[in-house]
């Protein structure tokens, strides 16, 4: 049977948002699982979806119905922001040896657990008028034991000061909390934007200033920080130690930046994006290694941070890899687009997750 893709990569982001996910079959029964906790909040499972695939209630509620219990509302901003032109999402093939460019393919593997892809959306956002109301609608549609995480980002210009970036983050975070987010996630890491929005986490001291502003705006609501890869373990450790006490946890990794090309050498997302974020199978192993390194730092320095692991979780086995590496929760980025029943499969196999 051919794979049904819930998101149509040939349509714009705006068209997909309006259309909602397309599933080939009705929702199977979701196994009842015992309650656990994540970030001190009750959850039916520590399995969810990372910021990205779920831009509004039209997307979040059908996936919540399919047993994903930690649901992240795609990164929103303090003003409406359009998506980059198509293409925004392509399937890719790994190169050999892995680590160099990845190549666009129109025929992804038949085994959905083996799919890799790449995205370049530019962090589009609806207007705050829309998303603040829609977050309320989403929260009202979730069951007890399901968590709504709202991902936020500041919109910065070349001359924005850290205080201005912190204030804009804090404004979005406060709106998200007011609208009903159980948890707010600050996206400190988007590989596909050129400004400081994309690389903030790589500067621990700048992150401290910005995250301090967000923390003040949030009161008791838990804060997660979405981060990417670090050049050295020392840089990772410095970041984690600096954030301890300000945030409750880290969500990682936010894609891995690599050249995305057609076989004839043309960059897949146009000449201005020689690199972009790779997702799925190709990044699973490196993501598990990073999660293991984060767990080691947390234990070595006795930090009060939780880990929401992301990166190529596309099979039940991948979830197991992350939990074994020290994750407190596992979030899928791209795989629910072609495997909407993954949480159900995981709950059958591991009700304790
Ligand atoms: C369609 C799409 C859009 C994304 N947009 C965002 C975003 O707005 N903010 C963010 O923090 N991550 C975003 N991501 C990255 C995911 O949260 C996740 O880190 C990434 O997909 C890696 O996980 P995966 O290998 O399971 O796909 C996006 C991913 C996808 C598939």
Q: Is residue 29 part of a domain?
A: yes
Q: Is residue 94 part of a domain?
A: no
For the whole model, what pTM was predicted?
Answer: 0.97
Distance 300 CA to ligand 1 centre (A): 29
Full DSSP string of 307-327:
EEEES---SHHHHHHHHHHT-
pLDDT value for 348:
98
In the numeric block, which tokens belong to residue 104? Answer: 């666009």
pLDDT tens for 28-62 read: 999 999 999 999 999 999 999 999 999 999 999 99
pLDDT value for 199:
83
Distance 3 CA to ligand 1 centre (A): 20
Nearest to 344 by CA among 8, 27, 23, 26: 27
Ligand 1 atom nearest to 332, measured from its CA: 26
Q: Is residue 122 part of a domain?
A: no
Ligand 1 atom nearest to 313, measured from its CA: 26
CATH number of the domain enclosing 167:
3.20.20.70
Cβ-in-10-Å burial (0-12, 13-18, 19+) of 304 comes to: exposed
Q: Is residue 37 part of a domain?
A: yes
pLDDT tens for 170-220 read: 999 999 999 999 999 999 986 555 555 568 999 999 999 999 999 999 999
Q: Is residue 87 part of a domain?
A: no
Distance 155 CA to ligand 1 centre (A): 18
Q: Is residue 8 part of a domain?
A: no
pLDDT tens for 230-252 read: 999 999 999 999 999 999 999 99
Mark 179-216 as b/e (b = at least 16 C-beta within 10 Å).
Answer: bbbbbbbbbbbbbbbeebbbbbbbbbebbeebbebbbe
Distance 188 CA to ligand 1 centre (A): 13
pLDDT value for 338:
96
Ligand 1 atom nearest to 254, measured from its CA: 19
Mutate to test the pocket of ligand 1, among 123, 254, 284 (most ligand atoms within 8 A of CB): 254
pLDDT value for 99:
78
What is the domain extent for residue 39?
Answer: 13-82+132-255+281-349
Full DSSP string of 126-192:
--HHHHHHHHHHHHHHPPTT-EEEEEE-----TT--HHHHHHHHHHHHHHHHHHT-SEEEEE---TT
pLDDT value for 2:
79
In the numeric block, which tokens belong to residue 139? Answer: 């929260």
Distance 224 CA to ligand 1 centre (A): 15
Q: Give the count of domains, the chain.
A: 1
Distance 143 CA to ligand 1 centre (A): 24
Q: Is residue 26 part of a domain?
A: yes
**CA 283 – CA 310 distance, rounded (Å):** 10
Nearest to 168 by CA among 203, 195, 134: 195
Q: Is residue 286 part of a domain?
A: yes
Residues with CB under 6 A from ligand 1: 50-53, 74-75, 89, 119, 121, 123, 151, 187, 226, 254-255, 279-280, 283, 310-313, 332-335
pLDDT tens for 299-310 read: 999 999 999 999
pLDDT tens for 337-350 read: 999 999 999 999 99
């Amino acid at each position: 049977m051919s794979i049904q893709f819930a998101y149509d990569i040939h349509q714009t982001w705006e068209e997909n948002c309006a259309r909602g996910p397309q599933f080939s079959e009705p929702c199977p029964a979701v196994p009842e699982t015992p309650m656990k906790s994540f970030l001190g909040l009750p959850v039916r499972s520590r399995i969810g979806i990372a910021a990205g695939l779920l831009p509004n209630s039209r997307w979040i509620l059908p996936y919540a119905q399919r047993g994903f219990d930690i649901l992240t509302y795609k990164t929103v901003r303090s003003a409406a922001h359009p998506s980059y032109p198509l293409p925004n999402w392509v399937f890719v093939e790994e190169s050999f040896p892995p680590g160099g460019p990845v190549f666009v393919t129109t025929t992804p593997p038949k085994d959905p657990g083996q799919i890799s892809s790449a995205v370049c959306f530019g962090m589009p956002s609806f207007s705050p008028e829309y998303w603040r109301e829609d977050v309320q609608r989403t929260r009202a549609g979730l069951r007890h034991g399901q968590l709504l995480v709202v991902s936020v980002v500041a919109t910065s210009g070349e001359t924005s000061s850290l205080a201005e970036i912190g204030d804009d983050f804090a404004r979005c975070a406060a709106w998200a909390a007011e609208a009903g987010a159980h948890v707010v996630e600050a996206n400190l890491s988007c590989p596909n934007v050129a400004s400081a929005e994309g690389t903030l986490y790589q500067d621990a001291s700048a992150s401290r200033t910005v995250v301090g502003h967000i923390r003040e705006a949030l009161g008791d609501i838990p804060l997660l920080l979405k981060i990417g890869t670090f050049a050295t373990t020392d840089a990772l450790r410095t970041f984690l130690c600096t954030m301890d006490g300000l945030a409750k946890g880290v969500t990682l990794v936010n894609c891995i930046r690599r050249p995305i090309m057609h076989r004839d050498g043309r960059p897949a997302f146009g000449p201005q994006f020689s690199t972009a974020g790779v997702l799925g199978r190709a990044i699973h192993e490196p993501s598990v290694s990073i999660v293991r390194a984060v767990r080691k730092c947390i234990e070595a320095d006795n930090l009060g941070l939780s880990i929401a692991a992301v990166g190529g979780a596309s099979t039940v086995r991948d979830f197991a890899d992350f939990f074994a590496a020290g994750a407190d929760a596992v979030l899928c980025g791209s795989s629910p687009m072609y495997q909407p029943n993954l949480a159900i499969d995981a709950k059958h196999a591991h009700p304790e997750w």
